[in-house]
Structure 1
Amino acid sequence: MAFTRATGKHRGPSRLARKRAGIAGAAAIATTGVIGTLASPALAADTETPSVEDTGLLQAVVATDTSLADRIDAQADAQQQEADLAAARAEAEAEAKRKAEARAKAARAAKERAAREAERKRLMSYTLPIAGSYVSTGYQAGGAVWSSGTHTGVDFHAASGTPVVAVGMGTVVEAGWGGAYGNNIVIRMKDGTYTQYGHLSSIGVSVGQTVAPGQRIGLSGSTGNTTGPHLHFEARTSADYGSDIDPVAYLRGHGVRV
């Protein structure tokens, strides 16, 4: 009886089928990372079936995965560096802005302090009652023209209508007709002394008004007991007649060149 090759469901896989299965297994290993253990001895022993190393598929997949990961990491590093640089630039700009604002604020404060100091000095300063003038008749000069027998102030040379200013900061306590002084103004000064301005042609302030150094208070003239236009200026320790002091020494004592 002759023996024949088994057919149907008991027939073993062909060489071509086994080769295809081996290639598919290598692909599965490359993509999943799991090495199967179910390969049959017949398939493993078949020398014609190419291994994973023979096809190069596993190495290619692993190399591709590594290269892609490296590129992703490099891109992430580059993005992080760019973000860090942007944050550093923003912080530097914010710091520069804060410093600029601080400098501007300090400059404004310094300017305001300087302005206040300058104003304080101006208010505490003294000046001549008529700018650029000079003393034409001195203090305590004798003569019949004065009822007391001596001059109780000094006369500053001035044409009629010349501006007369307060010599320092004070408050007006008298503004009007003063008998022999004609139109006159008396100011109580900041230091408690008094100054008087006589023979005015006009008066520009009123009682109770505060005046500053150099502020115009009237115009010179020749009203009252006078022989011609000029400014009679007195310095006193009180508002009363007879408390006069040397006007030139008074002004010099307050830093005025006379």
Structure 2
Amino acid sequence: MPPTRTTGKHRRPSRRGIRPARVAGMATLATSGVAATLASPAFAADDSVRGAADTGLRQAVVLDDTLGERIGDQAEAQQSAADVAAAMERAEAAAKREAAEAKRIAEARAKEERAAKERAAREAERKRLNTFVMPVDGSFVSTQYHASGAAWSSGTHTGIDFKAAEGTPVKSVGSGTVVEAGWDGSYGNSVVIRMNDGMYTQYGHLSALNVTAGQTVTPGQQIGLAGNTGNSFGAHLHFEARTTAEYGSDIDPVAYLRSHGVSV
């Protein structure tokens, strides 16, 4: 059989032998109250840890609240900026609408003003074209209508004579169309105009002609120069009013001019 080894000086005790000793020591300490004393620092340490944990939690809560407030402030600032931007956009849109409306109104007014000016111009032109004037400016009737005498082949004057020196401008008394312009026997150089009212006017004894047949004329337009051509005894203008372009259809030229507002 193998030899029995005795526990010597240099031999470690077996764990089996130590564990009971520890247990026994702990039991002794527990009996003597030392275990309670040793346990107190452990409990104190637990309280300290618990206090540190509580403090950390409170700091975390405070930090969390502060961060939440900052986030809330940022959100409010962003919302405020968005509200301001939206208000500015609305204001700009309203300003654009107002500008567009003002432009539309201004254009409408300008259009109406142009239309009013055009109407006024047309009315003024209509009045001008319907206006009658004297055939010789600043003149007067030197021989009346139906004056009798041997100077006229019919025995009476078929028109009226206006005092006018040689070369004095002679004008159409109103608007119309020239139907004759040239030599006309005893009338000398003569112009006959069909007036817009359907009547005819004749201008005789002219020294020069400024219009031709077919030409339209307006009130006061120069048609020739006064003279002494044809059967005439001195420079003057012979003026007739007729119902046709032919000789013998004459009417009272003074009454005709006066009916159109001319002071003769």
Q: Which of 205, 215, 220 lines up with 1:209 in the alignment?
A: 215
- Counterpart residue type for residue 204 of structure 1: N
* Deviation >6 Å, runs of 4+: none
Q: Could you tell me how far 1:46 is from its partner in structure 2?
A: 2.6
Give the whole-Å Cα distance in 2 for the aligned partners of 1:190 and 1:130: 20
- Counterpart residue type for residue 52 of structure 1: L
Give the whole-Å Cα distance in 1 for the aligned partners of 2:202 and 2:136: 13
Q: Could you tell me how far 1:47 is from its partner in structure 2?
A: 3.9
- Counterpart residue type for residue 239 of structure 2: F
Q: Which has the higher helix share?
A: 2
Q: Which of 245, 251, 254 lines up with 1:248 in the alignment?
A: 254
1:183 aligned onto 2:183? no
1:161 aligned onto 2:164? no
Q: Which moved more, 1:45-54 or 1:188-197?
A: 45-54
1:218 aligned onto 2:212? no
Q: Could you tell me how far 1:184 is from its partner in structure 2?
A: 0.7
Give the whole-Å Cα distance in 1 for the aligned partners of 2:164 and 2:57: 122
Give the whole-Å Cα distance in 2 for the aligned partners of 1:94 and 1:58: 53
Tell me, what secondary structure is at the counterpart of 2:256? helix
Give the whole-Å Cα distance in 1 for the aligned partners of 2:208 and 2:240: 18
Q: Could you tell me how far 1:107 is from its partner in structure 2?
A: 1.1
Q: Could you tell me how far 1:154 is from its partner in structure 2?
A: 0.4
Identity %: 58
Match of 1:257 in 2: 263
1:130-145 mapped onto 2 (5 Å cutoff) = 130-145=136-151
Q: Unaligned stretches of 5+ in structure 1?
A: 5-14, 16-41
Aligned residues: 221
1:46 aligned onto 2:69? no
1:1-258 mapped onto 2 (5 Å cutoff) = 1-2=21-22, 46-49=50-53, 50=55, 52-55=57-60, 56-258=62-264
Give the whole-Å Cα distance in 2 for the aligned partners of 1:103 and 1:172: 43
Tell me, what secondary structure is at the counterpart of 2:22? coil
- Counterpart residue type for residue 237 of structure 2: L
Give the whole-Å Cα distance in 1 for the aligned partners of 2:197 and 2:84: 76
8 Å CA contact 1:52, 1:58 repeated in 2: no
Give the whole-Å Cα distance in 2 for the aligned partners of 1:90 and 1:162: 65
Q: Which whole-Å deviations, capped at 9, do the CAs of 1:40-86 have from their partners, x for residues lacking one?
A: xx99x934412533551121121111111111111111111111111
Q: Which whole-Å deviations, capped at 9, do the CAs of 1:182-236 have from their partners, x for residues lacking one?
A: 1111111111111000000011111111111111110000111111100000001
Give the whole-Å Cα distance in 2 for the aligned partners of 1:89 and 1:66: 34
Tell me, what secondary structure is at the counterpart of 1:2? helix
TM-score (norm 2): 0.79
Q: Unaligned stretches of 5+ in structure 2?
A: 1-20, 26-41
Larger Rg: 2
- Counterpart residue type for residue 50 of structure 2: D
Q: Which moved more, 1:225-234 or 1:55-64?
A: 55-64
Give the whole-Å Cα distance in 1 for the aligned partners of 2:72 and 2:203: 103
Q: Could you tell me how far 1:171 is from its partner in structure 2?
A: 1.3
TM-score (norm 1): 0.81
- Counterpart residue type for residue 107 of structure 2: E
